Amino acid sequence: MQKRKLGTGGLEVSALGLGCMGMSFGYGPPVERQQGIDLIRKAFELGVTFFDTAEVYGPFTNEDLVGEALAPIRDEVIIATKFGFAIENGKQVGVDSRPEHIREVVEASLARLKTDRIDLLYQHRVDPNVPIEDVAGAVKELIQAGKVKHFGLSEAGVGTIRRAHAVCPVAALQSEYSLWWREPEEAILPVLEELGIGFVPFSPLGKGFLTGRMDHSTTFDPTDFRNIVPRFSPENRSANLALVGVVRGIAARKNATPAQIALAWVLAQKPWMVPIPGTTKLERLAENLGSVDVELNETDLREIDEATATIEIRGERYPAASMRWIDR
């Protein structure tokens, strides 16, 4: 597995990480615990050294799973987790990035992850009630105490990124980015390049849509959050299949799968991007990791850009209630 660097602080990770959320949360019932452990350890055997989790995934159960799976190889991997949500009675009820809350979350996450340090600690969503300087200052203290190695932000806007970075160097920004959500290209990516901050795209496969295994008739488990995502309504899925058609065409020519093309496209954008696709299946894990060997040349990339520029993607990427936590 190739390696890439996030930020200028020496954080080196595998070119493709593993998003672990879906094993416990979001995409239907959680996987059997041993199944999740086996998948995470298999990812490491295949070269993955970068694993992403958060206290809110479950809540709490995903960190516990990741901690147990990685305990035997802790010093050989990079673990990223997140703070920033208020959780009551097992449910997310808002955001909370007060410094005292950050410290409490870190102690609890360290225990669940069975480790003495968090390699990359993200603010999960920007808290409009807490100055980002206070957040960055709290994380800086945790870094000085040796409990955190690197500071990250998630779904943060340009102003927030600059203000946070001025207090504590930001190693990485994690935000959604894929062939069907390219907004970060407008303002975010130029600032990251300017400041030397890495980019960790989540949902690089469009929450599964870019794998080509969905159509308007696809149904989801009742607990799958895609049921309430506007972009996944049957009518929007039908319209958005035009994008999948473009990906399929490139995949056929490259002897690859649509998922591999979608991931290879992200990898080809910048050397400081590290996508973190998630999966619960070993065969999909192997498929996704195969994307690092798919080379898209300038002609391929230009063809993709020209073809996708004519396609209007239908539907918001989150329901309205979730969009209020996106900082722009």
- pLDDT (tens digit, 9 = 90+) per residue, 17-30? 999 999 999 999 99
What are the sequence ranges of the domains in the chain?
Answer: 3-323
Residue percentage of the chain with pLDDT more than 70: 100
* Residue 122 a catalytic site member: no
Which residue is catalytic, options 27, 57, 177, 318? 57
Residue 181: pLDDT band by 50, 70, 90 thresholds? very high
- What secondary structure letter does DSSP report for 273? B
Q: Which CATH class is domain 3-323?
A: alpha beta
What phi and psi values does residue 138 have, to the nearest 5 degrees?
Answer: -65, -40
3-class SS at 178?
Answer: strand
Nearest-CA neighbor of 323 among 162, 181, 191? 181
- Cβ neighbours around 224 below 10 Å, total: 18
pTM (2 d.p.): 0.98
- pLDDT (tens digit, 9 = 90+) per residue, 287-296? 999 999 999 9
What letters, b where the CB count within 10 A reaches 16 and e where it falls short, cover 252-279?
eeeebbbbbbbbbbbbbbeebbbbbbbb
What span, in angstroms and rounded, lies between the C-alpha atoms of 147 and 17?
A: 22
Residue 109: pLDDT band by 50, 70, 90 thresholds? very high
Which secondary-structure segment (H or E) carries 306? helix 298-308
Residues in the chain: 328
